[in-house]
Amino acid sequence: GDSVTQMEGPVTLSEEAFLTINCTYTATGYPSLFWYVQYPGEGLQLLLKATKADDKGSNKGFEATYRKETTSFHLEKGSVQVSDSAVYFCALTRGETSGSRLTFGEGTQLTVNP
């Protein structure tokens, strides 16, 4: 079946550091890929998505590129801020949108220190 694997956390960085959170997936066909963010006490929010190979999703300085050859969708940000501290989830779906059922990774806790 479909599965998503994220790098283990927690991840602790200093402000303005470069961030990479690795995500790889296993799925047949051409899934759509997502990154969600969960701030403390809040629900999951869609951060970015990509629906086909080589697509790059981007939002709020975060980027991820759909790499079919390596089945990866790594999340990157060039300069993190304290406000980026949250849990990040990688996910996939067979549909083109998050309106279909999602398969999630384990989540990665990010803490950014001033």
Partner 1 sequence: GAVVSQHPSRVICKSGTSVKIECRSLDFQATTMFWYRQFPKQSLMLMATSNEGSKATYEQGVEKDKFLINHASLTLSTLTVTSAHPEDSSFYICSARVASGPLNTEAFFGQGTRLTVV
The residues of the shown chain that bind partner 1, judged by CB under 8 A, are 4, 36, 41-46, 89, 96-99, 101-107
Q: What minimum distance in Å lies between the beta carbon of 98 and partner 1?
A: 5
Shortest Å, Cβ 44 to partner 1: 4
CB closer to partner 1 out of 4 and 75? 4
Say if residues 103 and 92 touch (Cβ distance below 8 Å): yes
Nearer to partner 1, 72 or 98 (CB): 98
Task: Please say which residue, 15 or 106, places its beta carbon nearer to partner 1.
Answer: 106
Question: Measured between alpha carbons, how far is 80 from 54 in angstroms, rounded to an integer?
Answer: 24
Least distance to partner 1, CB of residue 78, Å: 27
Report the C-alpha gap between 20 and 6 in whole angstroms: 11
Q: What's the token pair of residue 19? A: 């961030």
- Determine the Cα–Cα distance for residues 64 and 24; give it in Å rounded to an integer: 12
Q: Return the number of the residue (44 or 110) whose C-beta is nearest partner 1.
A: 44
Q: How many CB atoms lie within 10 A of CB 58?
A: 14
Q: Residue 101: which of 31, 22, 14 has the closest Cα? A: 31
CB of 15 to partner 1, least distance (A): 26
